[in-house]
Amino acid sequence: MAGLKVSQKHHRHINNPFPSTPKRLPFIHGSLYFDSDKLLQDQSFCIGQDFQLSWSARNGGHLSISHRTQPSRSVWSTIPGEAFISAAAVQSHAEESRGSFVIHDGDAYFICKHQTIEEIRVIHETDIQKKPSDIFLTSGFPNSSNEDIRELVEESKFPILMIAGRVFNQKTNSTAKKNLGKKRLRFGCSRKSSLVARYWFLLEQKSKNQIGFHLKFGEFDQKCSPGIIYKTSIKISRWKLIRMRCQWLTCMSSNKGFVALSSHDEQEGKKGIITEFNKVFITYASDKDERFYGFGEQFSHVEFKGKRVPILVQEQGIGRGDQPITFAANLVSYRSGGDWSTTYAPSPFYITSRMKSLYLEGYNYSVFDLTKVDRIQIEIHGNCAQGRILNGNSPVELLELYTETIGRPPILPNWIISGAVVGMQGGTKAVHTVWDQLQQYDVPISAFWLQMIILQDWVGKRETVIGSQLWWNWEVDECHYAGWRELIDDFRAHDIRVMTYCNPCLVPTDEKPNKHKDLFEEAKRLDILVKDKAGRTYMIPNTAFDVGMLDFTHPKASSWFKKILHEMVDTGIRGWMADFGEGLPLDAYLYADEDPIQAHNRYPELWAKVNKEFVDEWRSDNDTNGRDPEESLVFFMRAGFRGSPKWAMLFWEGDQMVSWQANDGIKSSITGLLSSGISGFAFNHSDIGGYCAVDIPIIRYQRSEELLIRWMELNAFSVVFRTHEGNKPASNCQFYKNDNTLSHFARCAKIYKAWKFYRIQLVKEAAQRGLPVVRHLFLHYPDDKHVQSLTYEQFLVGTEIMVAPVLDKAKKEVKVYFPTTDGCSWQHIWSGKIFTRPFNHSGNIQGHEAWVDAPIGYPAVFVKCGSHIGEEFQSNLRLLKIL
């Protein structure tokens, strides 16, 4: 990104435990101008066959887009009299430390916050059939080669709509003010000239219910020529209008480009500090009580009105505002505590309670500013913007439209969703010991997961300053796992798969014993590792050691890593955690010469794509050889971006603290699960019991038995039921600790097994429609005000099961809200009690709250009355002797 300075903070060991809020530009407000002779009072323009744009010159002018089937319902609209397109050139500063990133706004060289509309043009297919670029060239559209324009419109449904005009900044020495009712408008007369740039805003129908938008600006140009005299629909004094016209005659440019007219701006341009816009702003209307959902996997909030949401892939942080752990993490490692907005898998997408939805395309860093009650401002770090506006009548319909475009996950093989996935370490003997215990308690098991994110096994372990970690050299350590193949074959004979771990980073192995290959040196020789500015291998600090990161923009990197995966699978492995993906430095140099910040957000998708392509290739070979389709492979990831659901088979939520806290504990695991589901991440789950423990004299976070048991009950209703020993196994209670934990683990695994039939249906539905297995109630009860305010308190499994887990220490009851807008009652599965729909004084059905007992072993779970899904679930619980 132009104008971005990057500072490394990896090795700062004493830091401010309360880091300041990143510096940023204020909310941009600008005025809209137009020529009332050219733009009539009220006009409508076609966008494709199904959408229309309405223009009104009233109240200063505004636009509104609607679908032809509902012309009175706007899916996107601007604010009367105010600019909806602005741009700026700003010196930004990024700080990074071990996968954590923050971007500050520095000096603003210029901000063009005011906007004109010169033309609204309808472009028909016949206009560009012979020479596609002509119609765009006549309007000065940048980069308008035949190839560019064909690519732009090849999927469009004509006609296309183009709005063209200019953005500018007014430097005024005196200001005249005119009060018009409640609105105060400013008209300036400046002795200095303004900076002016042309813009082009294209609207094109992409499908029956989607509009694509493209925003581009002209290049810098030092020329100046007379422009156009603008009129507005606002009545002002004659002398003020003359002054405005004089100003426009001075500052408006010809067909293209910027005009830097002040001597200061001209000198800055000659220095070459910033030569183009690097921030684009799109501002449009929002209702006061409109609620916003989505934005990827978010761990602190599900609804975002009033917040400023950054879209940047990074480590989620340790604590994320929960104390005292965030204080400690920030103190010893720069900003590593994170905050409410930091996440592994953001997405520039939302759905609102008004059934409006929009998402950005591309991979630019962006910020959705929802802090104003009546408007939204999207800040895109780049010199252009593109995205889509969706039309739908329900959250489910909008989510289907969205995932239809970005992609949906494949159907998971039955083996991964049939029983518990047991995370283990310690070598062959330790695994056999725990397996024997699980058999005694009749625990249904899908797989043994011989890995730990930081506590590895299969590739060998080493001790570091933060504990036991693995060697990131992706081959089995046969000393640590003697009889590796025999162990895998033994499990397979009992219909249990073995899963492992890998990531896109490699570590020097000079000190590692028992190695057959040195993958770091091999990748270095092939020149497929990310480079620094000096052209050397970029050694990236990660946890307690430095690593090299694979450059998947290099044509050799993908095929090379697939060979590593093939060797792993050839030993009998059938699944793996594909970790990391969020740590590409913002000052990295890649083979493809991509903008580093865009490459940073895209990297998780590239990493997922490599794994998915290998899975597909392996499955194709299996089909050819006539092998069992249940031998399908599975991998799961934590890092992601907008398009990751297309490539990643399964997600997990990363490294929650072993705590009851809201921002980075058991509660946050539900918040992340629900927000990601609304954002198209259909298959997601968390580590049972959390991951991150802290065991120092002043601050202790240790997994208690009660927390572990309650997390078991929670995850019995996620798509995958998987354990993790955590980063400090000795400090954490484990499922195999005693008879109580083992028996409870067996009970929850059987509850999980009891709804397998429904889980299979939901997995197929996710692959076909993009709907998540675990759902926020907003997806099915969007008009219920109480539902709109829910965060982690309860959730749906599909549409037929509702769960309200215990999320606080020593609690034995929960408050449950029963939505009834669909006219259904809910039955408590343990007591059989039916929670009926009460009526209010007007005789209307309304939702209601009730306290429900939830002692350990009996989480608050409900099924819809009369549901065959609920009846079969309860029948299976009886067969398993749970009910």
Element (H, E) at 73: strand 70-77
303, 579, 653, 725: the catalytic one is 579
Q: Which amino acid is at 642?
A: R
Decide: helix, strand or coil at residue 227.
Answer: coil
At 574-591, the pLDDT tens digits run 999 999 999 999 999 999
CATH number of 414-756: 3.20.20.80
Summarised one tens digit per residue, pLDDT across range 545-576 is: 899 999 999 999 999 999 999 999 999 999 99
pLDDT digits (tens, 9 = 90+) for 150-159: 665 566 789 9
Contact yes or no for 577/636 (Cβ under 8 A): yes
Within a 10 A sphere around the Cβ of 324, how many other Cβ atoms?
A: 14
Cα dihedral across residues 790, 793, 798, 799: positive or negative: negative
Q: Which residues contact 530 (CB under 8 A, 6 or more apart)?
A: 537, 538, 540, 548, 549, 550, 551, 584, 585, 588, 589, 590
Q: What's the pLDDT tens digit per position in 721-734?
A: 999 999 899 999 99
b/e map of 829-865 (b: 16 or more CB within 10 Å)? bbeeeebebeeeeeeeebbbeeebebebebbbbbbbe
Confidence of residue 822 (pLDDT cuts 50, 70, 90): confident
Residues 6+ apart with CB under 8 A from 249: 226, 227, 229
CA distance 338 to 534: 30
Residue 293, φ and ψ in degrees, nearest 5: -130, 155
Residue whose C-alpha is closest to residue 77's, from 359, 283, 215, 369: 283
Rg (Cα) of the chain, in Å, rounded? 29
Which residue, 715, 743, 693, is CA-closest to 318?
693
Q: Six-digit token pair at 537?
A: 């291998």
pLDDT, tens digit (0-9, with 9 covering 90-100), for 838-873? 665 555 567 899 999 999 999 999 999 999 999 999
Give the residue among 69, 84, 712, 625 at the shortest CA–CA distance from 392.
69
Q: Amino acid letter at 37?
A: D
- Are 349 and 390 in contact by the 8 Å Cβ rule? The answer is no
| CA–CA dist 881, 52 (Å, integer) | 60
pLDDT value at position 250? Answer: 41
Are 359 and 263 spatial neighbours (Cβ–Cβ below 8 Å)? no
- Domain-by-domain residue ranges, the chain? 1-8+22-285, 414-756
Q: Is the pLDDT of residue 375 over 90?
A: yes
**Dihedral angle sign, alpha carbons of residues 528, 529, 532, 534:** negative
Residue 45, CA distances (Å) to 64, 124, 135, 158 in order: 10, 12, 17, 12
Q: How confident is the model at residue 366 (pLDDT cuts 50, 70, 90)?
A: very high
Q: What is the mean pLDDT of residues 45-49?
A: 96
Does the active-site annotation cover 739?
no
**Does the pLDDT at position 660 exceed 90?**
yes
- The whole-chain average pLDDT of the chain stands at 87
Residue 821 identity (one-letter amino acid)? T
Phi, psi of 33 (to 5 degrees): -125, 150
pLDDT of residue 457: 62
Instruction: Specify the pLDDT at position 629.
Output: 59
Q: Which helix (H) or strand (E) holds 85?
A: strand 85-97
AA identity, residue 558: S
3-state SS record for 693-746: CEECCCCEECCCHHHHHHHHHHHCCCCCCEECCCCCHHHCCCCCCCHHHHHHHH
Q: What is the average pLDDT across 183-207?
A: 68
Residue with tokens 């209008």: 241
Residue 582 designated active-site: yes
Structure tokens at 380: 């895109």
SS3 864: strand
Q: Could you report the per-residue pLDDT of 88-118, keeping only the tens digit for each?
A: 999 999 999 999 999 999 999 889 999 999 9
Q: How far apart are CA 258 and CA 252, in angstroms?
A: 10
For strand 292-296 and strand 346-352, is the pairing parallel, antiparallel, or unpaired? antiparallel
Count Cβ atoms within 10 A of the Cβ of residue 441 and give its class: 0-12 exposed, 13-18 middle, 19 or more buried. middle
Report the alpha-carbon distance of residue 461 to residue 827 in Å, rounded.
Answer: 49
Closest to 815 (Cα-Cα) out of 796, 834, 784, 790: 790
Beta bridge partners of 357: 351, 390
Question: What is the model's pLDDT at position 349?
Answer: 98
Angstrom distance (rounded) from CA 59 to CA 235? 11
pLDDT, average across residues 391-418: 97
Nearest to 291 by CA among 833, 818, 781: 781
Structure tokens at 307: 């917040």
**Residue 225 pLDDT more than 60?**
no
Nearest of 393, 313, 405, 298 to residue 353 by alpha carbon:
393
Is 666 in a helix, a strand, or coil?
helix
Q: Which of the following is catalytic: 82, 105, 303, 582? A: 582
Q: In the structure encoding, which two tokens stand for residue 517, read together?
A: 């290959």
From the list 639, 652, 553, the residue with the least C-alpha distance to 601 is: 639
Cα end-to-end span (Å), the chain: 59
Selected catalytic residue, list 655, 664, 784, 800: 655
> How distant, in Å, are the alpha carbons of 160, 461, 480, 568, 685 from that of 513?
64, 11, 11, 19, 35
- Residues with Cβ within 8 Å of 391's Cβ and at least 6 positions away in sequence, in order, are 51, 67, 75, 209, 210, 211, 401
Positive or negative CA dihedral for 302, 303, 307, 309?
A: positive
d(Cα 733, Cα 123) in Å, to the nearest integer? 66
Question: For the segment 459-505, what is each residue's pLDDT rounded down to a tens digit?
Answer: 877 766 665 677 899 998 888 788 888 888 888 888 889 999 999 99
Is 221 labeled as catalytic in the residue annotation?
no
| Residue 543 pLDDT | 73
d(CA 67, CA 208): 9
The pairing of strands 774-775 and 700-701 is unpaired
